[in-house]
Amino acid sequence: MSSSTSPIILFYQTTTKDVYIYFGSTLLITGIIGELLNLIIFQTLRVFRESPGVFYLRIMSLSNIGQILVAVLFRTLNYGFQINLLRSSWICKMREFLVHFCALVSLTSICLATVDQYLSLTRPNLSQMKYSYRHGVIMIVLWLLHNVPFLIYCDMVSGSCRNSSTTFSTYANYFIWPVLLGCLPVAIMLIFAILSYISVRRISKAQINTTRLSHERQITSMVLVYVVFIIVLSLPCILYSIYALNPPYTDTESTARGRLIYGLLSFFYYESYACSFYIYCCVSKRFRKQLLYVLFEVHLKRWRKAFGQLQQNQVGIQQITSTTN
């Protein structure tokens, strides 16, 4: 850092580094723990395993973990701790491929979950596990093929990972980011989340199948509130990124300020991939009870039983050994 750097620029640079260190580290820990707990609960309880909508949420949690690792971890190490993992061409290619793949899969999954939730309330025959499996496979294959150009055109240029194709760079900047990762999923989530909420209210007034209604209301409230958080957390970063495609930076101070603003907004954006578990817990009392049941009544007892059997086996082996001697 130059000794001639002005105090305001030094402040921007230091604050940006602190943002990446503290926000990034916190997001990494809380995000991975939360998404792992989601997977444990969704996979343990039969009511979730047999739910087509929750099948999409499981895929979303897996892709969220991938997004946190390949996006947040790399950015935190690079800008916070000055540890640059992007030192080779293949790491650059794989990171860009996986960042966009995980983001697209995550957003598509929550979109499919909102659509399925609406169908489960209005047309249950269209909300079935067989359809969810098909849609999941199609989604994964589609985004794998769609992101192949990142493996071809991304490379290390002047020490940074960049897109070497002007055409594909234009497509990524003006379609993938604002449309596929912005306007389109937001519109789908909003429309079907609202339709699901209206359907739940209608069924509740009609007093139809209260057991089924309780489960559907739980999933609907979880998905609906999470959708709201995704929109609130991600839109500022998306809008700023579009604005910064042609940045009006005329000096070093403007550049440093822009990096600080983008750093803050990007962590709000990535928080949308890390907060689902905590939102589910806040929104649904039933989910909190299911969490405690899974952790303490199912897995803790299972671990205690396994540990007890291991101790008994060790005691048995010691007794046999002493008798033999």
Give tens-digit pLDDT for 37-78: 999 999 999 989 989 999 999 999 999 999 999 999 999 998
Give the residues across from 201 on adjacent strands: none
Per-residue confidence (pLDDT) for residue 4, from 0 to 100? 55
| pTM score, whole prediction | 0.89
192 part of a folded domain: yes
8 Å CB contact between 197 and 220: yes
Tokens of 273: 């991939």
Q: Please, which residues bridge with residue 156 across strands? A: 161
| Average pLDDT for 247-269 | 83
User: How large is the average pLDDT for residues 254-279?
Assistant: 91
The CA distance from 146 to 148, in Å, is: 6
Q: What is the pLDDT of residue 324?
A: 61
DSSP code per residue over 144-175 = HHHTHHHHHHEEEETTEEEE--HHHHHHIIII
Q: How far apart are CA 194 and CA 188, in angstroms?
A: 10
Per-residue model confidence as pLDDT tens digits over 145-163:
999 999 999 998 877 888 8
- How many whole angstroms separate alpha carbon 68 and alpha carbon 65? 5
Give the chain's end-to-end CA distance (angstroms, integer).
Answer: 72
Q: Which tokens is 8 given? A: 């305001």
Tell whether 181 is covered by a domain.
yes
Q: Which two tokens stand for residue 239?
A: 């809008």
Mark 143-158 as b/e (b = at least 16 C-beta within 10 Å): beeebebbeebbebee
Say if residue 253's pLDDT is above 90: no
User: What CATH number is attached to the domain comprising 241?
Assistant: 1.20.1070.10
In angstroms, the CA 109 to CA 115 distance is 10
Q: pLDDT band at residue 183, thresholds of 50, 70 and 90?
A: confident
Residue 321 vs residue 60, higher pLDDT: 60
Q: Are 253 and 6 in contact (CB under 8 A)?
A: yes
Looking at the structure of the chain, the number of domains it has is 1
Q: Is the pLDDT of residue 27 over 70?
A: yes
Nearest to 109 by CA among 58, 154, 164, 47: 58
- pLDDT in the model for residue 23: 92
Q: What is the mean pLDDT of residues 187-215?
A: 75
Measured distance CA(154)–CA(309) in Å, rounded: 53
Give the structural domain span for 86: 12-283
Domain presence at residue 288? no
SS3 assignment for 259-297:
HHHHHHHHHHHHHCCCCHHHHHHHHCHHHHHHHHHHHHH
Specify the higher pLDDT residue, 284 or 319.
284
CA-CA distance, 33 to 25, in Å (whole number)?
12
> Does residue 305 form part of some domain?
no
Contact present, 146 and 127 (Cβ < 8 Å) = no
Which pLDDT score, from 0 to 100, does residue 281 have? 95
DSSP H helical segments within the chain, as ranges? 7-18, 24-44, 46-49, 52-67, 74-75, 89-122, 129-146, 148-153, 166-171, 184-206, 210-243, 252-271, 276-283, 285-292, 301-324
**pLDDT, average across residues 84-92:** 88
Q: With contact defined as beta carbons under 8 Å apart, do 10 and 3 qualify?
A: no
Q: 209-243 burial by CB neighbour count: b if 16+ within 10 A, else e?
A: eeeebeebbbbbbbbbbbbeebbebbbebbebbee
Over 90: is that where the pLDDT of 315 sits? no
Q: Which of 95-109, 176-190, 206-220, 248-262 shows the highest mean pLDDT?
A: 95-109
Kindly state whether residue 3 falls inside one of the protein's structural domains.
no
Q: What is the pLDDT of residue 323?
A: 63
Residue 1 domain flag? no
21: in domain:
yes
Say if CB 53 and CB 120 are below 8 A apart.
yes
Tell me the pLDDT of the chain averaged across its residues: 87
- Read off the pLDDT of residues 220-245 as tens digits, 9 standing for 90 and up: 889 889 999 998 998 888 888 877 77
Q: Would 167 be classed as within a structural domain?
A: yes
pLDDT of residue 206: 62
